[in-house]
Amino acid sequence: MKPQILLASLLLAAASVVQAASAKWPIADLYVPPAPPGVNSAAVAAPKLDWVQRVKATNDRAQTVAASIKLVFDGDSITDFWQTKGKDVWAQHYAQFGAFDFGISGDRTQHVLWRLANGQIDNFKPTLIALMIGTNNLSVNTDAEIAEGVAAVVQDYRTRSPDAVVLLQAIFPRGQKADDPSRARIKAINETISKLHDGKKIIFTDFGDKFLNADGTMSPAIMPDFLHPSAKGYEIWADAIQPIIDQYLPPATPAALVK
């Protein structure tokens, strides 16, 4: 299939997914009141809504700073951990932009779509959206389904933030050895989603090889569990995307230098 036809097909499928997922399921409707005072909470039936409650708390916090946010990161635990393992690198590279991290551990493409449908980016006018998602879909979806899910997230962000540029980052390699079964799958998915790159509003970048040794193995110093970056890994990540960050978000001029 020609790249142009593949891209059109992928975007058409993504648009259908986004339309199907666009109806809000208000977070407020999912609220479960706590057990009454004096009642043993361990003996009261309740669903696990930790994830929904975190989404709500994150959205509430985001809305207090929405007007100042120019850079948004979104994804799963790999993105989420910018706030722990990568916090020093984040402070050095992104704090000046009032950047906001929406990543949540364990999330798949469908979870990001749900978050977007439930107000995550409302009132935001970001300049750049750094997105990486899909590795957690590997256990439950085919490669084609994952690529369609990623395209759906990109399409949804483009619809909700039409003035922003989406920096679509390739799914990181995982597994210690070069012949890990996930490597070939991730490569195939990345090749497909790379077709979303248009050089204008969607910028695709793949720097996964920067996390690997020459023989394709992965060092535990870079990814201790062969999935999540260490502090050093986050430095590698930040350095890899810095040229793109600089292109769309030039460093702020220190007030002392302004005449």
Active site residue 225: yes
Count the helices and strands in the chain (H runs, E runs). Answer: 8, 5
Q: Which of 101, 107, 111, 228 is flagged as catalytic?
A: 228
Instruction: Find the radius of gyration of the CA atoms of the chain.
Output: 19
Q: Which of 77, 105, 182, 219 is flagged as catalytic?
A: 77
Q: Which of 122, 198, 225, 239 is flagged as catalytic?
A: 225
Do the beta carbons of residue 144 and residue 151 sit within 8 Å?
Answer: no
Do the beta carbons of residue 148 and residue 182 sit within 8 Å?
Answer: no
Do the beta carbons of residue 76 and residue 135 sit within 8 Å?
Answer: yes
Active site residue 93: no
Classify 201 as helix, strand or coil.
Answer: coil
CA distance 129 to 249: 11
Q: Which tokens in the block code for residue 130?
A: 């750094």
- Cα dihedral: 206, 17, 245, 209 (round 10): -10
Active site residue 111: no
List, edge to edge, every strand of the sheet that includes 128-132.
100-101, 71-75, 128-132, 165-169, 202-205
Q: What residues act catalytically?
A: 77, 225, 228
